[in-house]
C-alpha cells in the first residue's frame, strides 16, 4: 500500500463526512498490519461532545472488525467545498486513542493532496505518550 493510495482512500472517506455544524470535513484511512484499510469520516452531533473525529471512526471500525495492529494512517481535512491550505493533524484525543494500539511507531500521513503531504510518527506528535505499558 503506497502513501498515495492511503491518501486517496482518506479523500474518498472525507466525502461521507457528516459535518453540518463545523462544515469541516475530514477523512482518514488506517492501514492495518494485515493489509486491510479501514476508513472513517467525522460524524458530528447536535450535542457537540458526541462528535467523533475521522481518525477515531476509522480506529473503532478497525478494532471492532478484529484489527488491532496498524502501521500508518492518512488524514485529510478541509472546509466543505474548499481545498486544503493547512494539513489536518489528529487532535489530542485521537493521538491518545491511536497510541493505545500502535505506540510511537505509527506513521501519520497528513495530506493536502496525493503528492503534497507531511509524515510524522505518532511519537513525534505525542511525545512520552501514556499507554498500556504504563499500566503493566
| Residues within the interface to ligand THU (CB under 6 A) | 19, 22, 24, 26, 42, 44, 51, 53-55, 75, 77, 88, 90-91, 94
**55 has catalytic annotation:** yes
Say if residue 86 is exposed, middle or buried (CB neighbours under 10 Å; 0-12, 13-18, 19+). Answer: exposed
7 contacts 74 by C-beta, under 8 angstroms:
yes
Residue (of 50, 55, 53) closest to 42 by Cα position: 53
Could you tell me whether strands 24-32 and 70-79 are parallel, antiparallel, or unpaired per DSSP bridges? Answer: antiparallel
- What DSSP state is assigned to residue 47? S
To ligand THU, the closest distance from the beta carbon of 94 in angstroms equals 6
Nearer to ligand THU, 26 or 67 (CB): 26
- Which of 55, 65, 100, 124 is catalytic? The answer is 55
Nearest distance, CB of residue 55 and ligand THU, angstroms: 6
Nearer to ligand THU, 22 or 68 (CB): 22
- Rounded to the nearest whole angstrom, what is the least distance from the CB of residue 135 to ligand THU in the complex? 26
Which is closer to ligand THU, CB of 34 or CB of 116?
116
Name the residue among 83, 81, 95 with its Cα closest to residue 53. 95
Residues noted as catalytic: 55
Amino acid at each position: 500500500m503506497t502513501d498515495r493510495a492511503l491518501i486517496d482512500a482518506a479523500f474518498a472517506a472525507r466525502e461521507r463526512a457528516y459535518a453540518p455544524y463545523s462544515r469541516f470535513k475530514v477523512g482518514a484511512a488506517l492501514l492495518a498490519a494485515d493489509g486491510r484499510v479501514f476508513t472513517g469520516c467525522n460524524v458530528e452531533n447536535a450535542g457537540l461532545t458526541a462528535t467523533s473525529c475521522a481518525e477515531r471512526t476509522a480506529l473503532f471500525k478497525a478494532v471492532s472488525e478484529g484489527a488491532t495492529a496498524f502501521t500508518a494512517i492518512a488524514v485529510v481535512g478541509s472546509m466543505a467545498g474548499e481545498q486544503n491550505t493547512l494539513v489536518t493533524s489528529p487532535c489530542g484525543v485521537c493521538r491518545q486513542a491511536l497510541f493505545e494500539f500502535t505506540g510511537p511507531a505509527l506513521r501519520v500521513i497528513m495530506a493536502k493532496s496525493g503528492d503534497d503531504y507531511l509524515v510524522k510518527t505518532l511519537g513525534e506528535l505525542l511525545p512520552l505518550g501514556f499507554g498500556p505499558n504504563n499500566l503493566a
